[in-house]
Amino acid sequence: MPMIEAAGKSFEVDEEGYLINLSDWDEGIAAYLANEEKVELTPNHWEVINFLREYYSEYQIAPAIRVLTKAISKKLGADKGSNKYLYKLFPYGPAKQACKIAGLPKPTGCI
């Protein structure tokens, strides 16, 4: 597995760039992963990233996109729980790209 040096730490990622050890994650690594994905992190991005981390810590999986939008609608309001809003923040797919930046594995059922 490739090792990455960034944010003063070294950490392991898989062949698609997902973090291997979830416990390696911190905001510095998130910033590095976001930069790799060419995503500029704003407070709106962090809101989704933190949401995903909370979801993972509760259920031990990264949610499928349909489940993510539904859960975000419930917690943050329908305007934020839309595909359109999430794709604007994470153009290559919120479940895929946001999960990577959040240091989570690739969502189950992400095809």
Partner 1 sequence: MSDQEMDMEEGGVVKQFMFVNRKAPYGTIYALEGLEVVLISAAFEQDVSMAFIDDGVYELKKGQDTKALGQKNFSPTYRALEGYDIEKLYVEKESMAVRGLTVEDFAVDVTVLDHAEMAAKMAEQDVLISF
Positions in the binding site for partner 1 (CB under 8 A): 58-61, 63-64, 66-67, 70-71, 108-109, 111
- Please, which residue, 69 or 97, has the CB nearer to partner 1? 69
- Please, which residue, 9 or 66, has the CB nearer to partner 1? 66
Active site residue 99: no
Secondary structure in 3-state letters for the chain: CCEEEECCEEEEECCCCCECCHHHCCHHHHHHHHHHCCCCCCHHHHHHHHHHHHHHHHHCCCCCHHHHHHHHHHHHCCCCCCHHHHHHHCCCCHHHHHHHHCCCCCCCCCC
Cβ 109 to partner 1 shortest distance, Å: 4
Of the residues 61, 64, 76, 110, which is catalytic?
110
Tokens 């060419």 belong to: 38
- Please, which residue, 9 or 70, has the CB nearer to partner 1? 70
Cβ 51 to partner 1 shortest distance, Å: 13
Give me the active site residues, please: 110
